[in-house]
Amino acid sequence: MAQAWRCAGLSWTAGGPVLIWDGGRRSALTWGKTVAFGVAEGGARTCVGARGNMCPHSARVSARSTGPRCEECARLDRAHSVAADTLADDPRPYRVYLAWFGPGMTKVGITGARRGLTARLLEQGAVCFSWLGTGPLMAARRTEELLRAALRVPDRIPYAAKRAARAALPATGEERAAEIAALHERALALTGWPESLDPEPFRPVDHVEAFALARAPAPAGVVGELVAGGAVSGELVAAAGPDLHLATNRGVLVLDTRLLPGWELLPAAGRRVEVPVRALKERATAQDGLF
């Protein structure tokens, strides 16, 4: 029987997307590469644990969930994190950014300066972005809150909306950067900025080329979940955030790699898809080692 592998998720590097496997093995994904795997027969998706520890209950996790942890492990994983506001005394610098995902969809967020220039934004699937300022964690948090309160800029956008918007993006970088350019100007004009946050000029970074979205066919659907005994196989034509766009025997399908952790995966061949597939949601019109 072929060796089974467990995926730990997808990461973005300067060279493009990379799948990470339990044990540290990494698989670089390049355009035109075949991504193919089967799901072990008779298995189930189980919790991946937290902070390097196995789930004490080997709890089952929904195949449709983009979170691979049970409730208990998810709480433990978030117990000491920036996202949960439990690192208020972190002395390292943080950067505030404006990210654009499609017409009418801009958000404000923060990321550790130590993470490099664009890793966090690539992982979120931001089509373009600009830095807004750099400073201590709590100053960055206060700036986020200022933009939410004064300009009604959200700090979260549903991922399904991001995915749908990528199917019909403006053709030029200037068009894609227009909304964050206007918002950046309004943000810098606000009173109440934390004194310890250093503002940064507007310098848009566009990810359409990095994601290969301009030349990829529009997706026909989305992998809804993995199932025991199922298979996914196709040629990589684009990627954005956690999504891989695969040319398959059922057209170009989007595979959200957050569905992979928790399953035992096996090598596969061909370009077949034998898992549930659902239609790509229409975009919102306004903001509210196997491969």
pLDDT in tens, 74-85: 999 887 665 545
For residue 8, pLDDT over 50 is answered with yes
DSSP string, the chain: -PPPB-EEEEEEETTEEEEEETTS-EEE--TT-EEEEEE-TT---B---BTTB--TT--B--TT-S--S-HHHHHHHHTTSTTTT--TT--S-EEEEEEEEETTEEEEEEEEGGG-SSHHHHHHT-SEEEEEEEE-HHHHHHHHHHHHHHH---S---HHHHHHHGGG--SSHHHHHHHHHHHHHHHHT-S---TTPEE-----EE-HHHHTTTTSPPP-EEE----TT-EEEEEEEEEETTEEEEEEBTEEEEEEGGGSTTS-EEE--SS-B-S-EEPPPPPPSS-----
The string of pLDDT tens digits covering residues 211-243 is 999 989 999 999 999 999 999 999 999 999 999
Question: For residue 84, what pLDDT is reported?
Answer: 47
For residue 289, pLDDT over 70 is answered with no
The string of pLDDT tens digits covering residues 142-177 is 999 999 999 999 999 998 899 999 988 999 999 999
Split at pLDDT 50, 70, 90, the class of 283 is: low
Question: For residue 52, what pLDDT is reported?
Answer: 84
The string of pLDDT tens digits covering residues 191-208 is 999 999 999 999 999 999
Question: For residue 81, what pLDDT is reported?
Answer: 61
Question: For residue 172, what pLDDT is reported?
Answer: 96
